Amino acid sequence: MPAPLKGQRQEQKLDPTSLSFPRIQTTQVSSYDGSAKFVVELWDGHLIEMVLMPEKTRTTLCLSSQVGCARGCRFCNTARLKLVRNLTLAEFSAQIELSHKWMESNRVWAERWRVTSKVTNLVFMGMGEPLDNFDVLTKFLPVAMDQKGFCIAQKNICVSTVGRVDHLYKLHELYPRLPVAISLHAGQSSLRKKLMPIEHEYSLPEIAEFIQMKVLNHRRDPRLLIQVLLMQGVNNLEKHANELLDFLKSTGLPQDRFKKIKINLIPFNSFGESNFVEPDSESVLAFRHTLAQAGLRVMVRYSKGQDIAGACGQLALK
């Protein structure tokens, strides 16, 4: 078991006599895009959230890796819950199994959104930092991908991280073709420290070295995604786009490899307790234009499940 982060609770020991299968406590379905957000009660009474997202060619499950989170990103509602404990291997699997059972009993939902009643894609973007639960994550991935397990292709699984570089390298050694998403949110260290405390532990230059390695090791598609959550007046201005561009150039990648970097721009999803607000659409498009002009592949991704508080950064058991 890995040593706990400074200030976080020790891993809670399991009592086999008290184990029960996790159950869905509440369900909310978006009338806008069909996303279904579930509050799941675990064996010990703790709660997590997961989000099922129907799309044209796939059904994606955004699953949680921890009860709460220790990373303290200022813009994230989950961070307010602090960290309680890591999820177990069985609790990882249970999220998929519960999703399958729910879809089987809600055929109208599947027909309405024209999806199969089976999870085809996984994104580790729910509650918690997946790489802080590294041992369980790496035990679960073979189960998720195996034909006798959940039979989900490696290319259809994405692990998101706020930038835990030490475990990013270990994950790459085990699964070099596994898609990885790094939540960057700022290309300048002092701003990133204000938004994301992890910058004090794993800095932008260290992330740049990992990006260089990942891109150079895969000629066609490094399966690397940089995520930037844009907040009005905080990190959505032209100077912030140029700072992000300067950071990406610091990787030292040749131009043909530099163009392989993919970037997701995500307009902030507001919640009641936050001091941050959504960016105006003009600044988002201008930010995108600055990066695209440099040859980068940039998408603006509007999160699903916004009307049920199931979008990026909103998960807080509500």
Q: If you ran DSSP here, which 8-state letter would residue 133 be given?
A: G
Q: What is the mean pLDDT of the chain?
A: 90
Is 201 catalytic? The answer is: no
Pick the CATH number of 22-308 from 3.20.20.140, 3.20.20.70, 3.40.640.10, 3.40.50.620: 3.20.20.70
Confidence of residue 114 (pLDDT cuts 50, 70, 90): confident
- pLDDT at position 266 is 95
Is 76 catalytic? The answer is: no
Confidence of residue 117 (pLDDT cuts 50, 70, 90): confident
Percent of the chain exceeding pLDDT 70 equals 89
Q: If you ran DSSP here, which 8-state letter would residue 82 be given?
A: -
- pLDDT at position 155 is 96
Instruction: Name 77's Cβ contacts closer than 8 Å, sequence gap at least 6.
Output: 271, 273, 274, 309, 313, 314, 315, 316
Helix axes 165-174, 134-145, angle to 10 degrees: 30
Cα separation of 103 and 3, whole Å? 38
Cα separation of 229 and 246, whole Å? 18
Q: Is the pTM of this model over 0.85?
A: yes
Confidence of residue 311 (pLDDT cuts 50, 70, 90): very low
Q: Which of 69, 73, 76, 312 is catalytic?
A: 312
- pLDDT at position 200 is 98
Place of tokens 């639960």: 133
Q: Hey, where are the domains in the chain? A: 22-308
Calculate the alpha carbon distances from 90 to 9, 20, 87, 94, 292 in Å. Answer: 21, 11, 8, 6, 42
Q: Which of 278, 266, 176 is nearest to 234 (CA)?
A: 278
Residue 6 has pLDDT above 60, yes or no: no
Q: Which of 127, 106, 129 is nearest to 59 (CA)?
A: 106
Cα separation of 296 and 286, whole Å? 14
Structure tokens at 8: 């976080």
Q: Which of 41, 49, 97, 238 is catalytic?
A: 49
Q: Which of 251, 245, 71 is nearest to 164 (CA)?
A: 71
Cα separation of 80 and 316, whole Å? 8
More confident residue, 230 or 56: 230
CA 55 centroid distance within chain? 17
Specify the amino acid at residue 189.
S
Is residue 208 within 8 Å of residue 250, measured between CB atoms? yes
Confidence of residue 304 (pLDDT cuts 50, 70, 90): low
Is residue 226 within 8 Å of residue 264, measured between CB atoms? yes
Cα separation of 265 and 185, whole Å? 9
Please state the length of the chain: 318
